[in-house]
Amino acid sequence: MLSEYMNIDDIMDAAIAYNGKDARRINHLIKVWAFARCIGRGEHCDSSTQAIVEAAALLHDIGIHEAERKYASSAGAWQEIEGPPAARALLRDAGLDSAMLERILFLIGHHHSYQAICGLDFQILVEADFLVNIFEDNMDNAAIQSIRAKIFKTKTGLKLLEQLYLSGE
């Protein structure tokens, strides 16, 4: 539970409502959340880190609609700019302590800045997003190998990456 006011189910409901009828983006956020949840548990995150990871995973792409409206682009840089204000508004009444809220917003605002990865929560979010993007973008083996070498660090994330995309290699 994130707080006495809002739990992860409430955040999921809010993220789904925010995305309206955009089934592709709703499916994406749920898949990233599921992988983030799995990796966080596999890495034995404490309850606060797990809550931050799961909330950030559900909201990581929340800036896409505003980025498309303002810039006619869903590029990662625009998502990072537009995501935190949208997430802050969505989480306004969540009752989160300020440190937790700010960390969630930081992760949303940097989830495409791979050189800035700091902390297990950030690492997990990026790995979960890549596990989904590899499939959704139909990445080839060379790209997957490069992502493995450059991005993946957690034991659980590496195991999932290998099971899903690199088995037999």
Global pTM value: 0.94
Kindly state whether residue 84 falls inside one of the protein's structural domains: yes
- As given in the structure block, the two tokens for residue 75 are 């590029």
Structurally, the chain folds into a number of domains equal to 1
Write out the residue range of the structural domain in which residue 73 sits: 8-166
Kindly state whether residue 2 falls inside one of the protein's structural domains: no
Q: What is the pLDDT of residues 46-64, one digit of tens each?
A: 999 999 999 999 999 999 9
Kindly state whether residue 1 falls inside one of the protein's structural domains: no
CATH of the domain at 20: 1.10.3210.10
Q: What is the pLDDT of residues 83-138, one digit of tens each?
A: 999 999 999 877 788 999 999 999 999 999 999 999 999 999 999 999 999 999 99
φ/ψ (deg, to 5) at 130:
-65, -40
Kindly state whether residue 3 falls inside one of the protein's structural domains: no
Kindly state whether residue 139 falls inside one of the protein's structural domains: yes
Kindly state whether residue 31 falls inside one of the protein's structural domains: yes
- As given in the structure block, the two tokens for residue 53 are 């990871």
Q: What is the pLDDT of residues 145-163, one digit of tens each?
A: 999 999 999 999 999 999 9
6 compared with 152, residue with greater pLDDT: 152
